[in-house]
Amino acid sequence: MRIKKNAPIGRVKISEAKKVWIKRYVWASATALQAKDIYCDSEGAAPIQTHNTIRLTMPGEKVLIVLSDAHSFAVTKPEGTTSQEETGFFLSELAKPLIKILDAGYQVTFVSPKGKEPNVDPLSQSTMLAFLGNWWQKNKEDKVIAQMRLENNLASPQPFSSISDIALNTFSGVFIPGGHAPLTDLGDDPELGRILLHFHNQKKPTAVICHGPYALLSTKYAPQSSGFAYKGYKLTSWSDAEEKLVETLKGGTIDKVESTLRAEGAEMIAGTGQKFGSITVDREVVSGANPLAADALGAHFVEMLQGKH
């Protein structure tokens, strides 16, 4: 099927210089004619939004996924010494949104500070956690991560510095999963700050979950930065209360995401205080508190990419 030049397809406009062919199939999740979406807004309410626009995911649309190089994070002991605890990305916080992104027809590119192979947080792989949750879902998540290591660049992410400003124009959105790893090397990385400022300035969808919002602090260190780019934004992250539970288990103190972002001017919305698995949406940013929010965050992020919000 051939599309005439300048013919609108939902919210997609075909340029004069392009001839676009529709593939034999399109992912069903990206082609709903009418979608009714119930989501938790930044005040905790659950309004119903009805969308009647058609938006096809065009071949080649890409999402940037930001990961940490860190395999450990610092815990400060009462006597003043510091121990390093193993960490990485939290499996379900990456895999659940990733599955929704791929199912919607988007390509993904993984990036990290220096391009090192990312580690998986050992807690997120525990048999007990899988037993308490959904074993079938856990198996599905393991498979998509293994697939991304073999078929994509998850095993060797591109360094931040290799993503030029011109290349950033080819990405539709950015996603940062959690795990404690972002505390180590994402919050003060100037190159990540440059990358995030692009998505912020262009109002492109930005998804962060759990400890992932800590990476937003990097915008303070970007070249020609005028400060924290998300000052005044309503955000949800791993809470100080949740971190204190981890501190009890580790026997020391850990950097706090929630209070640090609040000190920089973000308006922090307590995810667990509203309901388990809630998300917060403010302008181009969707954020979630913990692994329970991964499904909702992934679904809403895809809808933002499709122009439904």
User: Mind listing the pLDDT tens digit for each residue in 176-208?
Assistant: 999 999 999 999 999 999 999 999 999 999 999
In this structure, are residues 105 and 26 in contact, taking their beta carbons and an 8 Å threshold? yes
Q: From 261, 209, 256, select the one nearest 66 (Cα to Cα).
A: 209
Q: Per mean pLDDT, which range of 16-20, 98-102, 164-168 is the poorest? A: 16-20
Q: Please tell me the predicted confidence (pLDDT) of residue 36.
A: 30
Distances (CA, A) of 260 to 237, 246, 268: 11, 17, 10
Count of CB atoms within 10 A of residue 269's CB?
Answer: 23
Residue 132 scores a pLDDT above 80: no
Q: Per mean pLDDT, which range of 29-38, 74-83, 122-131, 289-298 is the poorest? A: 29-38
Question: What's the mean pLDDT in 146-152?
Answer: 94
Query: Within a 13 Å sphere around the CA of 30, how many CA atoms are in the beta-carbon half?
Result: 25
Question: What's the mean pLDDT in 265-280?
Answer: 78
Distance CA 124, CA 294 (A): 13
Q: Please tell me the predicted confidence (pLDDT) of residue 35.
A: 31
E strand map for 162-306: 171-176, 206-209, 234-235, 267-268, 279-282, 285-288
Residue 37 scores a pLDDT above 70: no
Residue 225 scores a pLDDT above 80: yes
Distance CA 268, CA 236 (A): 6
- Which CATH architecture group holds 62-305? 3-Layer(aba) Sandwich (3.40)
Residue 84 scores a pLDDT above 70: yes
Q: Which residue has the higher pLDDT, 89 or 55?
A: 89
Residue 61: pLDDT band (50, 70, 90) is very high
Q: Please tell me the predicted confidence (pLDDT) of residue 275.
A: 56
E strand map for the chain: 8-9, 12-13, 35-38, 48-51, 62-66, 72-76, 82-86, 107-112, 158-159, 171-176, 206-209, 234-235, 267-268, 279-282, 285-288
